[in-house]
Structure formats: structure tokens, C-alpha cells
Amino acid sequence: MDEMKPSAVDNLTKILSEKGSISVADYMALCLTAGGVGYYRNGNPIGASGDFVTAPEVSQIFGELIGVWVMIVWEGMGRPQNFILAELGPGRGTLMQDVMRATRAKPEFRQAAHIHLVETSTSLREAQGKTLRSVCRPEWHESFTALPEAPAIIVANEFFDALPTEQYVFHGDSWYKRVLMLDDNDRPVFTAGRLAVPPVEILPDHLPNEGDILEHCPAAVDLVSEIGSRGKRAPCALLITDYGYDNRDFGDTLQAVSAHNYVDPIQPPGTVDLSTHVNFAELRTSAREAGLTPTSVLPQNEFLMALGLEQRLRRLMTNADEEQRAALFLGARRLVDPFQMGSLFKAMAITSAHLPPPPPFSPESRAIQ
Ligand code: SAH
């Protein structure tokens, strides 16, 4: 008889019984990007037939307006003749394809831009290559640190939410690392691990209550600090668009999505998409500490409207038939409707210190905290 492969659930039980416990961030890394089992290592999770749909998949206008934004930033940088246009976690390559369409009108920009994609998934790299085949020749990297040194404009949609996040839980009168471990019945549960003090930057002004949770994303902080070092040598601008929150407060935002539904985050590793809401307040603090300038945080609807969503929609509608018009309208509405993606999703830019704050953002005001 063939030996049976241990199922992924048994794997989790095995890992937990061997290690005793793993932190939330280690659990996210195991589920999302670990070799062999990671969710983003296999398959195509994005789109109607996958687990979730992202803004560039909802409407071409999203990527086109980001195309407008990157051209504005390039002008603000003094039109460098060679620069990196990078995307972190490009999914199916749709956003970059739309950026390319929008920037066609500016050949000087297109000539100067070298496209770099940071992607861990082999199958998504293939999808990206196919989508972009006729518009550019991207170079792929496994991690951000591998990007060559040059002036850089970097975009990241729904990338930061996938970075492993640590959680701290307040219990009794102390903070603990939140971990996953086996209970008395050998079932994995989230619980308080060892005593650990959360970084002071993420502590709210008010005191915690029993069970309150704080979130800290070390991978995001490291990435911003890496941009900080690069920003001292060459101009850099990063645009983050993602679901998230912009206040220092308690809350557990760890979520799992499968086939367009929320499910229990404790799942066989690799079978569902795990993420947390992006802690924009923490990113802003990290940016300042890294010697960069963060902008204000705008809700997605304000960001897209200010970049000309309505004008672009009208323009596309004039050349469309009735069915296409309905689809264009629905897609654009989904991006900006506060009950859909307009308000939970937010945009923030982080730039090297000497660059002017890119429109439509205002310079970050300390009062927002
Ligand atoms: N930006 C795309 C896809 C979002 S899904 C869109 O908006 O449609 C998250 C993307 O980030 C996927 O492409 C995934 O493979 C990639 N990714 C997740 N974690 C990563 C990591 N640690 N390093 C590099 N890429 C990662």
C-alpha cells in the first residue's frame, strides 16, 4: 500500500507539537509564502474564479489613474532618464498593464522606465509575464532588497496586507505575544504566549482592557527602512494602496478569505488567504524614523476622484456599447463607494525627504495621529 501523505492539517498539528507555539507572524509566513505549502506559492488566487478580487481586477481605471500618479511623481523627481518603476506583489499583472496604457502618451517616461516586479509566486510570475508580454519586459525579484540601485517609483496594491504581522494581547496586567498552540484536545488555538512589550510607537494613548490586541508588522517596518537607506542615495517614492486603518488603537484584524467569503483564520496552511489590515499609522512612524516623508492618508475614493476618476470614466463610456458602459460604471462605483472599496481602502505615499509631496496628497500633518 502507498504511504499516505500527511494532510496539511496534520502538518500544522505536527509543527505546533514540535515547536510548542508559533507567533501570528510566523503562522502567516507559514501559510502564505513558505516553500512548498504557501498560499502564494501555488495557483492563481485572484479574480472571479479565485478567492478574492482586487481593485485593478475590478476596473481598468484604477491602474490607469496610478499611471497618472507615477508620471506626476516622475516629473517631481526631475524626470530621471533611467529609473525603476517597480511593483510589489503584482498579482496577475493587471495594474502594471493599465499603468503602461496610461503612460503611452508620454514616450520620454516610457523610455526612462525599467519595470521591476517583486513576486514570490511562480505561477503568478507566469501570469504577469503573459499579461505584460506585449507592453514591457519586466525583471522579477524574490524580494525588495534585490532591486537595483536607482531612482525608484514603487507601487504596491494589496501587498502590505499580506506581510506577516505580529499580534500582542493584553492579559491580566501585562502584554503577551499572541501565538498559535495546541489546546488540551490537540486543537490549534490562538492564545497568550510569552511576555512581550509591544513597540512603543504602536501603543495608543489610552490604557488597554483585558483581551485587547495590538498589531505590528515587522516586515513592513523593515521594508520602509530599506527604502529609507535607498532614499538617501537616490530619489524614491512608494505608493501604498490597501485596506487598513490610520489610528493607533487596539483591534484584531487577522482575517482569512476563501472563495470570496471570510473563514476561520486557523486553516490548513496554504489553503486560504490570510491577511491583516494595514497599520498606516505604524508605516507613517517608520517612514519618519527612516528619514523619509510620509504623506497624509486618503480614503481610496478621495484619492481616485482627485486623480480624475470621473473624467476617465466619462471618456471610456463615450467609446463603449451599452453593456460595456454598465460594466464600466459598476466597476468605477465599486472602487469609490464608501460601502464597497471607497473608504476601508486607503492610499498613502512615502517619499525621500527632499521630494515635493506628490499630489493629490497633502504633506502629512502630525495632528492626524
Ligand atoms: N497587487 C495585486 C495582487 C495582490 S495579492 C492586485 O492588486 O491584484 C498579493 C500579491 O503579493 C501576490 O502577487 C502575492 O504573490 C504577492 N506576495 C505576497 N507576499 C509576498 C512576499 N512576501 N514577497 C513578494 N510577493 C509577495
| CB 121 near ligand 1, within 6 Å | yes
| CB 31 near ligand 1, within 6 Å | no
Strand pairing class (83-88; 152-157) = parallel
> Using CA of residue 248, residue 253, residue 254, residue 255, what is the dihedral sign?
negative
Residue 259's region, left for phi above 0, alpha for psi from -120 to 50, else beta, is left
| CB 164 near ligand 1, within 6 Å | no
Q: Kindly report the pTM of this predicted structure.
A: 0.95
CA distance 178 to 166: 8
First to last CA, the chain: 63
pLDDT in tens, 147-180: 999 999 999 999 999 999 999 999 999 999 999 9
- Note the pLDDT of residue 369: 36
Dist. CA 163 → ligand 1 center (Å):
9
Mean pLDDT, all residues of the chain: 93
Dist. CA 89 → ligand 1 center (Å):
3
DSSP class of residue 295 equals B
- Note the pLDDT of residue 4: 35
Dist. CA 87 → ligand 1 center (Å):
9
Most informative mutation of 32, 33, 40 for ligand 1 (most atoms within 8 A of CB): 40
- Note the pLDDT of residue 190: 97
Dist. CA 33 → ligand 1 center (Å):
10
**Average pLDDT, integer, range 79-91:** 98
Ranges 37-41, 187-191, 231-235, 244-248: which has the least confidence: 37-41
**Average pLDDT, integer, range 297-306:** 97
| CB 162 near ligand 1, within 6 Å | yes
In the predicted structure, residue 183 carries a pLDDT above the cut 70: yes
| CB 275 near ligand 1, within 6 Å | no
Position 44 confidence tier, pLDDT thresholds 50, 70, 90? confident
The third-level CATH classification (topology) of the domain covering 41-164+221-352 is: Rossmann fold (3.40.50)
| CB 160 near ligand 1, within 6 Å | no
Cβ neighbours around 311 below 10 Å, total:
10
pLDDT in tens, 52-64: 999 999 999 999 9
- Note the pLDDT of residue 10: 63
Q: Whose CA is nearest to atom 22 of ligand 1?
A: 163
Ranges 2-6, 34-38, 278-282: which has the least confidence: 2-6
- Note the residue count of the chain: 369
In the predicted structure, residue 3 carries a pLDDT above the cut 50: no
Q: Return the bridge partners of 82, or none.
A: none
CA distance 289 to 285: 6
| CB 286 near ligand 1, within 6 Å | no
| CB 46 near ligand 1, within 6 Å | yes
Dist. CA 340 → ligand 1 center (Å):
21
DSSP class of residue 234 equals S
Position with higher pLDDT, 364 vs 322: 322
In the predicted structure, residue 238 carries a pLDDT above the cut 60: yes
| CB 147 near ligand 1, within 6 Å | no
Dist. CA 121 → ligand 1 center (Å):
8
pLDDT in tens, 267-298: 888 888 999 999 999 999 999 999 999 999 99
Position 224 confidence tier, pLDDT thresholds 50, 70, 90? very high
In the predicted structure, residue 40 carries a pLDDT above the cut 90: no
User: Which of these, 314, 289, 286, lies nearest to 221 by C-alpha position?
Assistant: 286
User: Which of these, 120, 113, 100, 119, lies nearest to 150 by C-alpha position?
Assistant: 113
Q: Whose CA is nearest to atom 6 of ligand 1?
A: 91
Most informative mutation of 26, 119, 334 for ligand 1 (most atoms within 8 A of CB): 119
Q: Whose CA is nearest to atom 11 of ligand 1?
A: 89
**Average pLDDT, integer, range 104-111:** 96
